[in-house]
Structure 1
Amino acid sequence: MELGRQLARLTAGIDGLYRAANRGAGFLNAEGLIPVAMAAGIAPQPLRDYDEAEEALIDFRSRLGDAETALRRDWLDEMSDSLLALVATFRGDPISFGERLERQIRVPLKAVPQPIIDGLHSEIRSALDELGFRGGSLAEDHARWAEGAVIPTDTVLAVIADYQAEARARCAARMFAFDDEWMMPVGCNAAPFSAYCDYPSRQMLLNLDFPYTAFSLKHLATHEAFPGHLVHMKLREIAVAEERMPLEAAQVVTSSASSALYEGIADNGLHFLDWIEGPEDRLGLALQKLRSALRCTAAWMHHGEGRPLDEIVPEIAAASLQDLTTTRSRLAFLAHDLRAPFVHAYWCGYTAVNEIWTSVETERRRDFWAFLYGHMHTPRTLARHWERA
């Protein structure tokens, strides 16, 4: 618990340095390094500059032998190293995009291999055939399906509210009961996201500039609320207050070692709720996975290979079966230095959680959820320590 308190204070101190240096207008800058803190009264460690932050992190890492368990030691080791990589980035040190992925997000992936993309295209082809959209190219048949599948903008908020209500009921029946919790759907425009969980205000912000299908709203209801971000943060808030989780669990830290599991838990929500029904859901899931994978590839093309976005967008749009405007909007975050590697948290987090989830016996699912939500994890610590559990 003492190491957790020290790490929480140190992270808050680095967040203060970052915010002081990035006072520019814009939603992403305003979020800072810690967009959500679920515990009040975490006093930031006083830090003069990033050099002092680096020294404090190195000193912290020298004490990891005091960790209570092997899982805690491994998690604190990865998290503190990700903060060192963030400090190097903020300070302007030479650090490659590949190193940022490996150290900040804790994943070795650069671009998603083409055979995976081809496999997802095959899944989409099969679902479209089953739905009766066949006879043309994959892009043509998908476009014909999508034309009739888009939810009218003026009904989007009502539709996602209905899905959220069902997701909450399913979550209570299978996983965790939070019947008094709710995320109020609120529309917005010109935002750097499709949807956003504003946990403190309990609002689910939806960018109404984007088109949504029934499946995409169903997915967002589970990702942002039940059993995704809302449930995950609420459980961490309660566990920290009851001293069952260390204090650093009360912080959501952007582009850090915690990011992949934060997004991976949310992206597996439909699987956890056993809520993938029929060919339209299978089509929607394959599309969601395809676009998540291709955003990783786009990030690597831009930051790893130095290719301009104007060159990348048409290629990614064609492969992801999206129009150019939507694709460009979805890739706009790549211009934000802190957020640039974050996209890998979705694909890599999804696969890290899903690979284990598909191997968990039915009678052990509650044990897995307790382990998954009840500890801080990276993809590596989840795999290593669940096997031991």
Structure 2
Amino acid sequence: MELGRELAELTAGIDALYRNTPRSDGFLDEEGLIPVAVAPVTPKPLENYDAAAAALQDLRQRVPAAAESALRRDYVLAMIDSLLALIDTFAGKPISFAERLRRQIGVETTLIGAEVLEDYRVTMRTALDEMGFSGGALEADLGRWEAQARVPADQVLDTLSALTLEARNRVSAMMYPMACEWMEPVGVRNVPFSAYCDYPSRKVLLNLDFPYTRFSLKHLATHEVFPGHLVHLALREKAVAEGTMPLDGAQVVTSSASSALFEGIADNGLFFIDWIEGPEDRLGVALQRLRSAMRCNAAWMRHEQGLSMDEIVPVIAAASFQDPVDTRSRLAFLDHDLRAPFVYAYWCGEVAVHDIWTTIAPDRCAEFWQYLYLNMHTPMTLKNYWT
């Protein structure tokens, strides 16, 4: 517990340094390094980033002797290294995008290959054929399905609310009692996200500038609320308050070693509550994964290959089967220093969690969820320590 307290206070101190550096007043800058904390943490006073790095190095030396388990040791060491990489980024020191992915997000993934992307397209083709959208090129048939499946703009919030209610019922029946929890969908515009879990106010902010199918709203209901971010944060808040989870579990830290599992848990919500109902949902999952993978590739093209957004957008739009204007809007965060590697947390985290989930026997689901939600993880600790 002492190790968690020190890590949390140091992280909060780095967040304070980051927030005290003049930036724009945009949404992402206002979030800071820690967008959500579900328990009070006293920031460690830090004069500058050099002092922060020295404090992290000191803590790193003490971790092997202080950690109560191998899982905890490896997670805290990975978290410290991710914070050191963030400090180098904030201080303007040379650090490649590949190194940021490896140290901050905890993944070796670079470009996601053609074979993986083709598997998604094959799944999409099969599902479209099952639903009668066949006879043309994949892009054309997918476009016809999306046009037919699109939820009218004036029904989007009500549809999201109804799907969130069904997701809550499923979570309460299968996972955790959540009947007293709720997040109200609220429409917003001109923001750099599709949806956002505003945990403190218990609201889901939905970007009404984008079109949505029923599946995409179903995915957002499970990702942002039940059994995704709301459930995850509520469980962590309770565990920290009860003293069964270290204090660093109270913090959501952007582009850090914790990010991939935070997003990966949310992106597997549909599977946890057994809510893949037919070919439309299989299509939706494959399309979601394809677009998530292509956003990773866009980040790699931008930051490792040095391409401009004008060069990137047409390529990603065509490969993702999306409108170029929507694509540019969805990639707007790529030039944000803190957020640039974060997009890999979605695809890599979804894969990391799903690879384990597919091995879980039905009688071990509850045990797995406890292990997953109530321990802080990286993709590697999840793989190494779940048995």
Please tell me the TM-score bracket, short chain as reference. over 0.9
The aligned counterpart of 2:225 is 225
Letter paired with 1:60: L
How far the C-alpha of 1:147 sits from its partner, in A, is 1.2
The aligned counterpart of 1:310 is 310
How does the TM-score come out when normalised to structure 2?
Answer: 0.99
Please list, as runs of the form range in 1=range in 2, the aligned pairs for 1:314-329 lying within 5 A after superposition: 314-329=314-329
The aligned counterpart of 2:62 is 63
Letter paired with 2:51: E
The aligned counterpart of 1:75 is 75
SS at match of 2:135: coil
SS at match of 1:186: strand
Q: What is the alpha-carbon distance in structure 2 between the residues aligned to residue 229 and residue 349 of structure 1?
A: 14
Q: What is the alpha-carbon distance in structure 2 between the residues aligned to residue 380 and residue 282 of structure 1?
A: 27
Post-superposition CA distance 1:87-129 (Å, at most 9, x none)? 0110000000000000000000011111000111111111111
Whether 2:191 is the aligned partner of 1:191: answer yes
SS at match of 1:39: coil
How far the C-alpha of 1:309 sits from its partner, in A, is 1.1
Q: What is the alpha-carbon distance in structure 1 between the residues aligned to residue 307 and residue 123 of structure 2?
A: 29
How far the C-alpha of 1:170 sits from its partner, in A, is 0.3
Letter paired with 1:111: L
How far the C-alpha of 1:198 sits from its partner, in A, is 0.1
- Gapped regions of structure 1 (runs ≥ 5): none
**C-alpha RMSD of matched pairs (Å):** 0.7
The aligned counterpart of 1:163 is 163
Q: What is the alpha-carbon distance in structure 2 between the residues aligned to residue 137 and residue 321 of structure 1?
A: 12
1:22–1:29 Cα contact (<8 Å) kept? no
Post-superposition CA distance 1:350-383 (Å, at most 9, x none)? 0000000000111111110010001000000011
Post-superposition CA distance 1:186-218 (Å, at most 9, x none)? 000011000000000000000000000000000
The aligned counterpart of 1:29 is 29
Whether 2:191 is the aligned partner of 1:181: answer no
SS at match of 1:62: helix
Post-superposition CA distance 1:204-241 (Å, at most 9, x none)? 00000000000000000000000000000000000000
How far the C-alpha of 1:23 sits from its partner, in A, is 3.8
Please list, as runs of the form range in 1=range in 2, the aligned pairs for 1:103-142 lying within 5 A after superposition: 103-142=103-142
1:9–1:45 Cα contact (<8 Å) kept? yes
1:150–1:214 Cα contact (<8 Å) kept? yes
Letter paired with 2:184: M
1:294–1:316 Cα contact (<8 Å) kept? yes
The aligned counterpart of 1:361 is 361
Q: What is the alpha-carbon distance in structure 2 between the residues aligned to residue 374 and residue 29 of structure 1?
A: 29
Q: What is the alpha-carbon distance in structure 1 between the residues aligned to residue 284 and residue 67 of structure 2?
A: 43
SS at match of 2:186: strand
The aligned counterpart of 2:371 is 371
Q: What is the alpha-carbon distance in structure 2 between the residues aligned to residue 131 and residue 323 of structure 1?
A: 23
Whether 2:38 is the aligned partner of 1:48: answer no
Post-superposition CA distance 1:293-351 (Å, at most 9, x none)? 11111110110111111111111111111111111111111011100000000000000
The list of structure 1 runs, each at least 4 consecutive aligned residues, that deviate by more than 2 angstroms after superposition, is none
Q: What is the alpha-carbon distance in structure 2 between the residues aligned to residue 31 and residue 22 of structure 1?
A: 14
